[in-house]
Amino acid sequence: QSALTQPASVSGSPGQSITISCTGASSDVGSYKFVSWYQQHPGKAPKLMIFEVTRRPSGVSDRFSGSKSGNTASLTISGLQAEDEADYYCCSYAGGSTPYVFGTGTKVTVL
Amino acid sequence: EVQLVESGGGLVQPGGSLRLSCAASGFTFSSFWMHWVRQAPGKGLVCVSRINPDGTNTPYADSVKGRFTISRDNAKNTLYLQMNSLRAEDTAVYYCATVHSGSFHFDNWGQGTLVTVSS
């Protein structure tokens, strides 16, 4: 399995919206609705932000939303805030014995 | 509240061994698949291994196959990762994480434990 492709960095000003893409293949992102997104602040563990492409866990701000089209999933952060500055990773179920593949990660900078 | 607490990391020489532990609480440990995910310094997340509830199904990433062994003690609510023949490229923070039954995402993570392989 190859890592899913994400842009290395995305930036935006407070209040703006940004979108992070996550490109996989027909064997992972394109085949399953099981795409999840994780936020990771420096030195901290990842935190689940989106699961099953569009669903938010309890407690996650509705400023975070997910979508998918074909082999590409996306995470949109609206109303960007300073606390959103972190690394973000996508993950897709891909079947098989080791079924989870992560993205390469995107550093979000709030200008 | 779900808690996952890893321990056992440290500095080890190439070719050496370490055993990581992950103490779980706040959920029915014996009912869920458990995972080890690692993150090399400045790099992304990579799945290392996972184990089914009764410990009979233990697939591994190709990079660690034959060197790492995952196991669990359901009576002690603890997950393990025995790491042998360690290499410099195994240097990483190792996280344990849960994927609840019927779901396909990592909903709980430990704080991680750092393994450094260096002479």
Residues A67 and A76: beta-carbon distance below 8 Å: yes
Secondary structure of residue A35 in the 3-state scheme: strand
Nearest-CB residue to B45 (from A52, A93, A102): A102
Is B46 within 8 Å of A102 when comparing Cβ atoms?
A: yes
What pLDDT does B100 receive? 83
Model pLDDT, residue A73: 98
The Cα A36–Cα A49 span in angstroms is 7
Q: Do B45 and A51 touch (CB under 8 A)?
A: no
Residues B80-112: tens digit of each pLDDT = 999 999 999 999 999 999 998 788 999 999 999
**What is the three-class DSSP state of A26?**
coil
Task: Please say if the pLDDT value at position B50 is more than 90.
Answer: yes
**If residue B117 lies in a helix (H) or strand (E), which one and from where to where?**
strand B113-117
In chain B, pLDDT over 90 holds for what percent of residues? Answer: 96
Residues of A whose CB is below 8 A from B45: 38, 46, 89, 91, 102, 105
pLDDT block averages, 10 residues each, chain A of length 111 = 94 97 95 96 97 96 97 98 98 90 97 94
The pLDDT of residue A32 is 93
Which residues does B81 contact at the CB level (< 8 Å), separation at least 6? Answer: B19, B20, B22, B36, B48, B49, B68, B69, B70, B94
What is residue A96's predicted lDDT score, i.e. its pLDDT?
A: 85
Q: Would you state the pLDDT for residue A97?
A: 83
* Residue among A3, A34, A97 whose CB faces B59 most closely: A97
Average pLDDT, integer, range B1-21:
97
**Mean pLDDT, to the nearest integer, of B49-73?**
95
Confidence bin at B49 (pLDDT 50/70/90): very high
pLDDT of residue A91: 97
Chain B residues with CB under 8 Å of A51 CB are 103-105, 107
